[in-house]
Amino acid sequence: MAAPEANADAALVDLSYRGLRLGEALSLTRIGPQVAYLHFETPMPVGSELELALDGTEPVAVRVARAIETGDGPTGMWLHAELEAASDGARSWWSEHATETVDPVIPEPAYRGAEAEAEAAAAEDAAGADAAGADAAGADAEDGAAGEAAEAAGEAADAAEAGADGAADAAAASPEQGAESATSAEPSETSGEDAGASGKGKKRRRRRRR
């Protein structure tokens, strides 16, 4: 879109950036409901927030929608007015000076130089940060799984060791129990002797009776 030529119907405004006066009595043309073209020799970058002073009313905040520098008509900027936050007087001034019933369509430039490169770099950095975050999350998950597996293996080893100790104790106790059983099964010499003595006494008593 070519920049519009300045004409006698243009409104004259003052331009400021963060309190710093950049220009006075600048021509504002193609004024639509919220979009207008400001003729200015050193246009600001796209997205810059500026202020227009309008004939004694409170200033209107505007944002640079497209900068026209060379090869596309007079140097200047397409501006988007933030009328929602403007005073009643500023909105009235804007509507009274409007020369367009609808806002002009402002196509994006094919190349915006350093700004486009900065946006691309920011997008690439954001994508890299997301990828790094995903890798970190995956590493944490792997570490957690490895830790759980190691813990389970440790518990299994402890259980096996406990079972082996129990079996060894049982094996050690079995010979001792067998020895005790064998000892209990051996005949008592004292009991045998007592039984023999008792038999002899009975025989003697029988002989006496006869």
What CATH number did the domain enclosing 29 receive?
2.40.10
Query: Does 88 share its domain with 150?
Result: no
Same domain for 16 and 65? Answer: yes
Largest CA distance in the chain: 174
One domain for residues 137 and 102: no
Say if 179 falls within a structural domain.
no
29 and 119 both lie in a single domain: no
Instruction: Point out the residues of the chain with pLDDT beneath 50.
Output: 178-179, 181-193, 195, 197, 210
Residue 47 in domain? yes
Residue 34 is assigned to a structural domain of this protein = yes
Neighbours of 92 (CB within 10 A): 13
Is 55 inside any structural domain? yes
* Structural tokens at position 181: 């059983």
Whether 142 is in a domain gets the answer yes
Residues 96 and 122 in one domain: no
Domain shared by 99 and 145, yes or no: no
- 92 lies in the same domain as 15: yes
* Segment (H or E) for 80: strand 76-81
Model pLDDT for residues 111-151, shown as the tens digit of each residue: 555 555 666 677 778 877 777 766 666 666 666 666 677 77
- Domains in the chain, number: 2
Domain residues for the domain of 157 are: 111-169
| DSSP designation for 84 | G
Strand partners, 12: 27
Q: What is the pLDDT, as a whole number, of residue 190?
A: 47
**pLDDT, position 113:** 56
Task: Determine which helix (DSSP H) or strand (DSSP E) holds 156, and give its type and residue range.
Answer: helix 114-185
Q: For residues 209 and 192, give the distance between their C-alpha atoms in angstroms, rounded to a whole number.
A: 27
**Global pTM?**
0.50
C-alpha angle with apex 76: 75 to 77, nearest 5 degrees? 145
